[in-house]
Structure 1
Amino acid sequence: MKLSFILKDSNYKLSQFNQEEINDLENSIFLKQTAKSSNYYINSNEIYFFADINDLIEI
């Protein structure tokens, strides 16, 4: 999952991060699936972010 895709339509821009930070964040993205939903998470040091998979993928 690309960080640019997650940040689209948000107030955040890739220019806020340097390339090393972008790579680290993209490498930290994982998908957690449960019986009711699927969510992407970013776990990087103390940064925790999740989004509903329906917000990230066109259905």
Structure 2
Amino acid sequence: MLFDLLAIAAELLFWYRQLVAMFNTAAWYWSGLWGVFAALDAACLPLGIFLLRRRRGV
């Protein structure tokens, strides 16, 4: 986050375009991109529960 703020303050054009593209909720790719992140999170939850139960021996 500090790097992002520094890049904005230093007016690094490439990084500014990257941030705008990443948080542009009106873009066609936004739902798919963040949907993939949500799917990865959803896949990690059962894995984490499985590993926790295995470690505790339940």
Max Rg structure: 2
Where is the helix percentage greater, Structure 1 or Structure 2?
2
**Relative contact order, CA 8 A, sep 6+: which one is greater?**
1
Q: TM-score, normalised by structure 2?
A: 0.26
Where is the strand percentage greater, Structure 1 or Structure 2?
1
